[in-house]
Amino acid sequence: MSNPVICGVDFDDFVISMEEFHGYRSPGILLGGLMIEASLDELGDTPYLNVATETVVCLPDAVQLLTPCTIGNGFLQTIDWGKFALTCYDRLSLSGVRVWLNPDALGGFPLVRQWLERSSHKKEKLPFEALAAEILVAAKEVISQRPVHLHRSLKESQSVPTGRCPVCGESYPLHLGPTCPACQDQAYYFYQDPTKQAIRD
Of 106 and 183, which CB lies nearer to Zn ion in the complex structure? Answer: 183
Between 1 and 198, CB nearer to Zn ion: 198
CB 96 within 8 A of CB 149: yes
How many residues of this chain bind Zn ion (CB under 5 A)? 5
> Which of residues 105, 133, 176, 183 is near Zn ion by CB under 5 A?
183
**Are the C-beta atoms of residues 172 and 163 closer than 8 Å to each other?**
yes
Least Å distance, CB 167 to Zn ion, is 4
Q: For residues 87 and 97, what is the distance between their CA atoms, to the nearest angstrom?
A: 5
- The residue length of the chain stands at 201
Tell me whether residue 136 or residue 168 sits nearer to Zn ion (CB atom). 168
Site map (CB under 5 A) of Zn ion, residues 153-182, x = contact:
------------x-xx-----------x--
Rounded Cα distance, 14 and 66, in Å: 9
The Cα–Cα gap between 173 and 165 comes to: 9
Write down the least CB distance from residue 179 to Zn ion, Å. 5
Longest dimension (CA), the chain: 66
Q: Where does this chain bind Zn ion (CB under 5 A)?
A: 165, 167-168, 180, 183
